[in-house]
Copies of this chain bind each other. A is one copy, B any other.
Amino acid sequence: MLNIPRISISRRLRNTPVTHRVNQAGVKAYTVYNHMLLPTVFESLEADYHHLKHRVQVWDVACERQVEVAGPDAAKLMQLITPRDLSSMQDDQCFYIPMVDDTGGLLNDPVLLRIDRNRYWISIADSDVLFWVKGLAVGMNLDVDIHEPDVSPLAVQGPNSDALMERVFGESIRDIRFFRHKKISFQDKPLVIARSGFSRQGGFEIYVEGSARGEPLWDALFEAGRDLDVRAGCPNVIERIEGGLLSYGNDMTRENSPHECALQKFCNAPDGVAFIGREALSKITPGNLKRQIRGLKIEGDPVPPCTESWYLTKHGRFAGKASSAAWSPDLACNIGIAMIDREFWEIGTELSIHFDNQQRMAEVCSLPFPR
């Protein structure tokens, strides 16, 4: 990594409540997400990957900022911003909601938490959702309060997550179902905890309300998990590609519809329910979709980091673009995520992929990759 540039940290790239702990844990690289630091490597991408898949990690994902929307018009506004039907949502549920603009382009793919009937947290991917919902609320004169609360998620991920969490929060933690949340006490104050997270290894996201509580909770998790080999970790690009977890800004942008990202099952608001982008999305049918997200297997030695779109061709014709790629130790091949044109998107299609003045064979496959 000798020639990789450093990151210049300024106040604008916000610290999190546990940045000091992350630095003490020996973080080697950061990215920036919602104007905040997000660790990306501790020991190495591959060592972090193996550890995540076999042990348990604590992740500083404070950058999953919350946009709190509260007030009499909160439910109405939440339904306006997503094609997903929210009518059945319970107070303890987390909903993955594609958010689209008037053209049907994706603005974000957050997890929505309903805290109570008139109060929601939008747990966002990397774009300023607060600006969008505030713009709508001001423009439509809605009766809501919108702000970014002092809430910083800390994730516990990996097969030993339940064991670790039970030691810190008690055994009722095991009862939380997938994409449900619950208020559980830590040091006599409640915390919202959900069974969720940006890996396929199982685990929880703890919505740490109050920055001062970050370090005590971090320390409690490490103290309790010593014999479980708990380590500082972070979303791991290899594991997330294996698991087919799309990353907003990498694998999907404003240029893409939910359907192109294979998120059509989340576009289920019934007729008569108003949401922004309905007209644009209504024109998309299985028959006229131009491109869609797929997995890729790329031949040869480990690929470099995918820092920009890699073009895919077939006999010299444009076939698509890859947006994420990594060497998978467990699959013993390079894997990637790509947006592929209709003519080439059948599983098994062999394409050429172009990067760093190389050309290699890449095979279209389904997502997620088989374990």
Check if A94 is an interface residue, CB within 8 A of chain B.
no
A182 to B307, CA, bound (A): 35
Report whether B7 and A7 are in contact in the complex, using a CB–CB cutoff of 8 Å: yes
Write out the residue numbers on chain B whose beta carbons fall within 8 Å of the beta carbon of A126.
12, 35
Inter-subunit contact A6/B28 (CB<8 Å): yes
Q: Is the C-beta of A370 less than 8 angstroms from some C-beta in chain B?
A: no
Minimal beta-carbon separation of A301 from chain B (angstroms): 20
Give complex CA distance A14, B127 in Å.
13
Contact present for A139 and B135 (CB under 8 Å): yes
Whether the pair A131, B138 counts as a contact (CB closer than 8 A) is no
- A252 CB → nearest B CB, Å: 10
Give per-residue flags for A274-309: 1 if the beta carbon is below 8 A from chain B beta carbons, else 0: 001000000000000000000000000000011111
Of the candidates B13, B31, B131, B138, the one whose C-beta lies within 8 Å of that of A102 is: B138
In the complex, how many angstroms separate the beta carbon of A36 from the nearest chain B beta carbon? 10
List, in ascending order, chain B residues with CB within 8 A of A139's CB: 135-140
Are the CB atoms of B40 and A250 closer together than 8 Å? no
Bound-state Cα–Cα, A129 to B7, Å: 24
CB of A151 within 8 A of chain B?
no
A193 to chain B: closest CB distance in Å?
Answer: 27
Contact across chains for B7 and A29 when beta carbons are under 8 A apart: yes
- The answer to whether B10 touches A1 (Cβ under 8 A) is no
Query: Does chain B have a CB within 8 A of A264?
Result: no
Using C-beta atoms within 8 Å of the partner chain, give the interface range for chain A. 35 or more
Q: Is the CB of A6 within 8 A of B4?
A: yes
Interface status of A191 (Cβ within 8 A of chain B): no
**A5-B28, A9-B307, A11-B249 known; A131 and B140 CB under 8 Å?**
no
**Known A126-B35, A249-B35, A276-B138; contact A11-B308, beta-carbon cutoff 8 A:** yes
Q: A5-B7, A35-B249, A249-B35 are in contact. Are A15 and B307 (CB under 8 A)?
A: yes
Q: Does A87 contact B (CB under 8 A)?
A: no
Asked if A333 is at the interface (CB within 8 A of a chain B CB), the reply is: no
Is A21 part of the contact surface with B, judged by Cβ < 8 Å?
Answer: no
- Once the chains are docked, how many angstroms separate the CA of A305 from the CA of B12? 12
For the complex formed, measure the closest distance between the CB of A310 and the CB atoms of chain B, giving whole angstroms.
Answer: 9
A41 proximal to B (CB < 8 A): yes
* Nearest opposing residue in chain B for A309, CB measure: B11
A238 beta carbon closer than 8 Å to chain B: no
Interface residues of A in 305-322 (CB under 8 A from B): 305-309
Q: A-B pairs with the 3 shortest C-beta distances?
A: A135-B135, A139-B139, A12-B249
A–B pairs, 16, beta carbons within 8 Å: A5-B7, A8-B30, A9-B31, A9-B307, A11-B250, A11-B306, A11-B308, A11-B309, A13-B31, A102-B134, A131-B135, A136-B138, A136-B139, A139-B139, A139-B140, A140-B140
